[in-house]
Amino acid sequence: MASLAKDIISASSMVDNKSSFFGSNVINQNLGRLCVNPVLIPLDRKRRLRKGVRTTTPVVVAAISEDLVKLVRVEKPVSFKVRAVLTVRNKVKEDLTETIVRKLDAFADQIGRNVVLELHSNDIDPKTRAPKKSKEAPLKDWSKKSNLKTERVNYTADILVDSEFGIPGAIAITNNHQKEFFLESIIIEGFACGPVHFPCNSWVQSYKDYSKPRVFFSNQPYLPHETPAGLRYLRDQELKDIRGDGEGVRKLSDRIYDYDVYNDLGNPDRGNEFIRPSLGGDKMPYPRRCRTGREPSNTDILAESRVEKPLPMYVPRDEQFEESKANAFSTGRLKAVLHNLLPSIVASISKKHDINSFSQLDSLYSKGVVLKLGLQDDLVKKLPLPKLVTRLHESSQGGGLLKYDTPKILSKDKFSWLRDDEFARQTIAGVNPVSIERLQVFPPVSRLDPDKYGSQESALGEEHIVGHLNGMSVQQALEENKLFIIDYHDIYLPFLDRINALDGRKAYATRTIFFLNPSGTLMPVAIELSLPQALPGTESKRVVTPPADATSSWLWQLAKAHVCSNDAGVHQLVHHWLRTHASMEPFILAAHRQLSAMHPIYKLLDPHMRYTLEINALARQNLINADGVIEQCFTPGRYCMEMSAAAYKNWRFDLEGLPADLIRRGVAVRDPSKPHGLKLLIEDYPYASDGLMIWEAIQTWVRTYVNHYYPDSAHVCNDRELQAWYAESINVGHADLRHEDWWPTLADADDLTGILTTIIWLASAQHAALNFGQYPYGGYIPNRPPLMRRLLPDENDPEYMSFHDDPQKYFLSALPSLLQSTKYMAVVDTLSTHSPDEEYIGDRQQTDTWTGDSEIVEAFYSFSAEIQRIEKEIEKRNRDPSLKNRCGAGVLPYELLAPSSESGATCRGVPNSVSI
């Protein structure tokens, strides 16, 4: 044995410093002696696997027996090369400036201004007590490959390391070019442990914009206390850089995440009409948004100055849309401009703003606005935007662009929107299936302060509904869970005086009572319309019941339209914007600020945070801002965001999960014998029944993931990054509600599972259910008018005779104008559209390498398989004739929670994140 060891030592001293390229196990016959590369025998790094213990460092197995190697004395480390392969995504379209800069960078690369890489080991150098680093190495062939037109280009670099380097855990990149580039991934080949993967999906800025090297960590997840010694400083410094210092105006190239209030919705510099209150703070509580640091406006130091389109709003660089998403969104915005511009022409030429007939609405889908106008070339040339309009005109030759797609609500039954059963069905299978509640007290009771708003006793009586209860008494129907309500009284009434004073706005605060038929379908049995009490003794409430004659039929139709208008506002401002967009932003900001990219919980949340900050910033710029699309198109007008803020006071994170929400609304009760542990009181409730399958799949996946990393409560409580994330989400991101006692605790794995499941549910399935049906259901204005312009006529009103003589004309004149309608249709068409690069639930980028933990990769594949099974079950349910709320003559199938989709406005598909 001693003799053999002597031979090995002798042979190893003859090894050239330049080992084989990949540095793998080298066993050669050299002069009859065995030659072993010392790098392959890391005695001090070998870890033993114990059953039930998770390992976080890849195990390197010695090439010869350990007893033998202990005899080997290595006098000097051997240097060898490893190869880095970087996958860079090219831009498909470049402007002239970008092309010039790209060519300059290619030239500069040839003279030494390169992209430079440096590997960081997991280990500390025992001599210097500093993290081990490789030699710096430039990327090769950048100049040669700079002209490639492919979507992705692979670049390589040869990096010199020594035999005691250990396992690489991070890589630092310095971009000495003038132009940023998008780095998808890095693979390091040549270490004995096998390829080391670095998922990046990030922009690497030029040294001019970011002077420090950009650091990426390998795909191996580590809880904070598990962080290898060589990576601890990098982990902490990276988070410190991302948090910033809270000062200064953010540049578009920055990657800094911070908080601010919504003080940028108004534009006081344009005049009093554009002043809006700041949202967030004691006066008007609201979640926080991403800080931009822009200067205050000239006329109000507390209002942030505006950045108007087409100039971009700041979001951290990696949050901005990738090119295919940006193109899809800009195409949608172009369509919105087109559909907005042309009705403006209609209004200016004809001076008729009302929708004159149902056939005029139909022509928006069949003929298109341009064809109807018959624009001629000479007219096109006179318009203020000749290039745009010419483009419109030329596009019309191919069809489609200037015509609205036929909404799905018209695809199976053109007149279904008129029917009471369809009106009711959409409350549980339409675009807003989350407002309906079980009626527990009759008549319903208001929670508004009577000293402030007067007596709010309901005008609904038993005489209004008892004849529509299938022979039941009201009390019996209540006890047997047959009565349900959509109650918008308390959220609208405080705003009605101001709303009805706006030009072209008329609204009620509505309550709608529904009866659950033996067949499992709902029917509306009464609608209460409330106005603020003008004078003591005056009637401020009106009850409308199902019609008995022609006049009452039109009044009933008008009442339903007012309910839909109320519903559209609450859906958009509360359930959609507040509960999925705005309430998620603090959790996302805190995740980037407090969770390292190598933290397992960050890796879990990563796909569910994609694009949310960008779409929220675009909403602040174009949609929810003063005189923006939402104010122009929805009933509350300039008070839209104040109404959203009023609803936030009643927002509770602990009730945002699907089971808790169903129980809160009284439409489900706990029942361990039932699937998912819940009994639905409306058995055929498509949103709830499909949603519970997805909720349980998410919960199972999250529980598996969490238990893998947190075997006991001590791991949860002692995880400083995790606790900082949750604390900051509450205390800073939701600061105005931080003292509420309903916030879930975070003390063990079950707590964490519940919190994460709720966040992922809201970002994926809940948002999808509320978003992607907007155009399919709302694209036909009479089905779901976003605002109303006339109240129901009273027999004593002067306009009653015009209603009596031509009720259809009166009904159409109560709907939004043609300009308002087409603008609204264009916007919801864009918002309902999936982009080509959408990632759906059960999918994620780099499926095999997003984490280095093989057990978790396997668990994710199980989650994906379950999502696919759910999709097939949804398809099966949509073919089941016993489920009348999703299957029947002219009935739309419920697909809003079907997980997958093609691009476009498909009325299905569950993206991973709030991405539109």
DSSP 579: I
Q: Which two tokens stand for residue 514?
A: 């529904």
Q: How far is CA 858 from the centre of its chain?
A: 26
Alpha-carbon distance of 68 to 62, in angstroms, equals: 10
How many beta carbons lie within 10 A of that of residue 543, not counting itself?
19
User: What are residue 511's phi and psi, to 5 degrees?
Assistant: -130, 135
User: Amino acid identity, residue 646?
Assistant: A
Q: Which residue shows structure tokens 């009434």?
A: 493
Peptide linkage before 686 cis (omega within 30 of 0)? no
Q: Which residue shows structure tokens 């907007």?
A: 774
Contacts of 881 (CB under 8 A, 6+ apart): 887, 888
How many beta carbons lie within 10 A of that of residue 719, not counting itself?
23
Indicate if 771 belongs to the active site: yes
The C-alpha torsion from 299 through 303 and 304 to 306, rounded to 10°, is: -70
Annotated active-site residue in 355, 491, 698, 916: 916
Indicate if 581 belongs to the active site: yes
User: What are residue 516's phi and psi, to 5 degrees?
Assistant: -85, 110
Indicate if 41 belongs to the active site: no
- Helix, strand, or coil here: 181? strand
Q: 910 with 897: CB under 8 angstroms? A: yes
Closest CA to 527 of 509, 554, 500, 548: 509
Indicate if 708 belongs to the active site: no
Alpha-carbon distance of 848 to 343, in angstroms, equals: 50
- Helix, strand, or coil here: 399? coil
Annotated active-site residue in 571, 767, 867, 878: 767
How many beta carbons lie within 10 A of that of residue 479, not counting itself?
11
Cα distances (angstroms) measured from residue 315 to each of 184, 205, 242, 291, 836: 20, 15, 12, 8, 22
Alpha-carbon distance of 596 to 725, in angstroms, equals: 10
Contacts of 691 (CB under 8 A, 6+ apart): 658, 765, 766, 769, 897
How many beta carbons lie within 10 A of that of residue 452, not counting itself?
7
Region of 471 on the Ramachandran plot (φ > 0 left; ψ -120 to 50 alpha; else beta): left
Alpha-carbon distance of 387 to 401, in angstroms, equals: 16
Alpha-carbon distance of 244 to 258, in angstroms, equals: 8
Q: Which two tokens stand for residue 115?
A: 């992209």
Instruction: Give the CA count within 13 Å in the CB-facing half-sphere of 372.
Output: 19
Annotated active-site residue in 576, 599, 608, 834: 576
Alpha-carbon distance of 679 to 675, in angstroms, equals: 8
Q: How far is CA 241 from the centre of its chain?
A: 25
SS3 of 260-314: the string is ECECCCCCHHHCHHHCCCCECCCCCCCCCEECCCCCECCCCCCCECCCCCCCCCC
Q: How far is CA 97 from the centre of its chain?
A: 32
Question: What residues form DSSP beta bridges with 187?
Answer: 85, 197
Q: 26 with 35: CB under 8 angstroms? A: yes
Indicate if 197 belongs to the active site: no
Alpha-carbon distance of 739 to 731, in angstroms, equals: 8
Peptide linkage before 38 cis (omega within 30 of 0)? no
Q: How far is CA 167 from the centre of its chain?
A: 36
Alpha-carbon distance of 186 to 120, in angstroms, equals: 14
Annotated active-site residue in 625, 771, 878, 912: 771
Q: 490 with 447: CB under 8 angstroms? A: yes
User: Amino acid identity, residue 160?
Assistant: L
- Helix, strand, or coil here: 457? coil
Q: 184 with 87: CB under 8 angstroms? A: yes
Annotated active-site residue in 339, 581, 592, 834: 581
Active site residues: 576, 581, 767, 771, 916
